[in-house]
Chains A and B, each alone.
Chain A
């Protein structure tokens, strides 16, 4: 009887405003894990009730029915049919879109029969009103015998009422919405009426345990759903009054006639993608420079303010540059996630699926694969998780396999620094930035290789399972800035903490390895440097620089780097780049942190310059030429386009495919592709 509610779950159809409600209730008190080790399936948060109690809220994936059709819907079914689970809620809040009452009420009728205390949150009443539909809340309450609250999740109306209600005792409905015994045969009926659990819950557990054969389960499902809709139809006729339809639907129709237009549809889609790249590169550059400046100054200040010693060196040359390497990418990641959140919030993302389905099908993907591929531009981890709503297993596997080829935001730091090093900052036609175009080219290369790989896999993998696309196209909605803002906040936070942890750890290890070396060689350093001046005059600064460079060349990290140098030399890389390649296997953005640490150790004492300047000034000791030439820069960029350098992605592929086969294949394929392509690019340009 829900006296002591500790946790509630939000559930509802996709696009019913569930995320908005979750954000309204929890605000910044949310926890989302996108990285391995943390739960990835669900968003959780807390809210404070008027009676001073704090309760947990779980945001479950959107679903149309308790009979799951895809793996993200399966999460909902698994939780709601397992009262022993620690995620099993004390109370359900079912969000119902008032403008689409009938279809939304199906899920509600099912959860009621599972025996979970339920509250109905009627959302989008304003939308229904503009469509000429009005819902009599009182009648709905009577028909369903559960509390009904009118809310407007977008602007936060009714949230207080909902919280007040949650603080009170909520009675459970005492008889089922539909008597399932009318449908099932006597044998099953006998089984599901044993024990204290509601028969409907027992039925679902039997289906989950495969104790009912598939054919029969499907037949039960058909009858169950049909009968439920029959009852719902009668209820909707009683609670909903229709007046003349007003302009709202025409509004969405008008937008659709442009956005899904034969020519305009694709042009607008391409224009939006183009805008995103230009924005990432040009809008983010100013805040990035600011961050870079402050980190450099802070590092300098630290060196001056702290007493000289090992700890100061570790901070100044190891940790601070490492953290700086993470912080600098916040602007770009924020912009990228802002765009993705906007596309999803507005309802445009499903139009992209609609537009691209036929094209994607040609390469063995599904229109729904577009969403993971676009999210993959931000991060492959949530993107691979987003493949869960692809019902067909083969299409889902192919999408998972090719998603890491899409250039993610972790590659951005690497691209950014390399582009700035070797590509001139000039404009063509007065407004197209060449650096931006190169960046776009790298993204297109990643996208193209993903499509070609998918096409190949489609030829190799055989399946009998059929592919389908049955998807709602939601009405267009003005995005809520709160939702967009929270998405940005959450993603940036995750990036800073998760990537930050790895980068700081690696920075420390690297600094130690780069600062120390075999004692014999290190002791000889002074003599060798003195000898190198050959009796000529030299400044103290010059001496210190040569000493630092010598020490790095003979450090442990150099020994390690030089061991692998023969393997990467054909690609034009020296041992320092090699070290960065090895460390960035943990995560790509570590490349920049590694470079920052290596070059900080190398440059002696007082002079302070940004990483870009340091890399620009780096000279090959054998040839006297700059290390980062156009061929080397391009070769490195291409390497990073293809290489599978992300342990988190491997972990998520392992989890989502339930085995090592796919992550191992992914790594071999992508590494080979990276090596061969980088080799050819280096050969062609040098």
Chain B
């Protein structure tokens, strides 16, 4: 549990599978947007200043800040 990889750690082009959420409140919003445990996400690109980032979830583009991305843990 110590240092699980999160969506914020993904490099552009890299993908991972959502395992769980670290922040309950943000999880509510992320669930609505289709980010569920078991869903595959693909890191697409980050904004020019490095933050926010754009990921692909179920074939659509979702942008979120790095701080939010780091609350989404990935399956090892």
Contacts and interface: CB of A to CB of B under 8 A. Distances in A.
Q: Do A and B come from one complex?
A: yes
Interface of A: 64-65, 67, 69, 99-100, 102-103, 106, 131, 133, 218, 221-222, 225-226, 229, 249, 252-253, 256-257, 260-263, 265-266, 350, 353-355, 357-359, 367, 391, 466, 468-475
Contacts of B27: 222
A470 B59 contact: no
A367 B58 contact: no
Nearest 10 pairs of A and B residues by beta carbon: A473-B61, A65-B32, A103-B34, A262-B48, A358-B49, A225-B31, A64-B32, A470-B64, A100-B60, A358-B51
B50 to A, nearest CB: 7
A470 B33 contact: yes
Contacts of B10: none
Contacts of A472: 33, 60-63
Contacts, number: 111
Interface of B, helix, strand, loop or mixed by DSSP: mixed
Contacts of B31: 221-222, 225-226, 229
B47 interface: yes
Given A249-B59, A466-B25, 14 more contacts: A69-B29, A100-B60, A218-B25, A221-B28, A260-B48, A353-B63, A354-B63, A357-B47, A357-B65, A468-B29, A470-B62, A470-B68, A471-B64, A473-B62
A256 B44 CA distance: 10
A257 B47 CA distance: 10
A361 B28 CA distance: 23
B16 interface: no
A99 B59 contact: yes
A633 to B, nearest CB: 39
Nearest to A221: B28
A103 B48 contact: no
Given A65-B32, A229-B34, A359 B62 contact: no
B34 A470 contact: no
A627 B67 CA distance: 57
B17 to A, nearest CB: 14
Interface of B: 24-34, 36-37, 44-45, 47-52, 54, 58-65, 67-68
A357 B51 contact: yes
A402 to B, nearest CB: 21
B51 to A, nearest CB: 5
A361 to B, nearest CB: 8
Contacts of B64: 468-471
A131 B59 contact: yes
Contact of A102 (B32, B34, B49, B61): B34
26 contacts: A67-B32, A99-B59, A100-B58, A131-B59, A222-B28, A222-B31, A225-B32, A252-B61, A253-B44, A256-B54, A257-B45, A260-B47, A260-B54, A262-B48, A354-B47, A354-B63, A355-B47, A358-B52, A359-B49, A468-B65, A469-B63, A469-B65, A470-B62, A471-B63, A472-B62, A473-B63
Contacts of B24: 218, 222
Interface of A, helix, strand, loop or mixed by DSSP: helix
Contacts of B25: 218, 466
Contacts of B67: 468
B58 to A, nearest CB: 5
Nearest to B36: A229
Interface hub of A67, A355, A358, A470 (most chain B Cβ within 10 A): A470
A107 to B, nearest CB: 9
A468 B24 CA distance: 13
A102 B29 CA distance: 16
Contacts of A221: 28, 31
B39 to A, nearest CB: 9
Contacts of A64: 32-33
A350 B62 CA distance: 11
Contacts of B45: 256-257, 260
A563 B31 CA distance: 63
Given A229-B34, A357-B65, A470-B29, A102 B52 contact: no
A566 to B, nearest CB: 50
Nearest to B46: A260
A468 B62 contact: no
Nearest to A100: B60
Contacts of B52: 354, 357-358, 367, 469
A102 B47 contact: no
Contact of B48 (A100, A131, A261, A391): A261
A203 B8 CA distance: 36
Contacts of A391: 29
B47 A473 contact: no
Nearest to A252: B61
Contacts of A466: 25
A266 B48 CA distance: 9
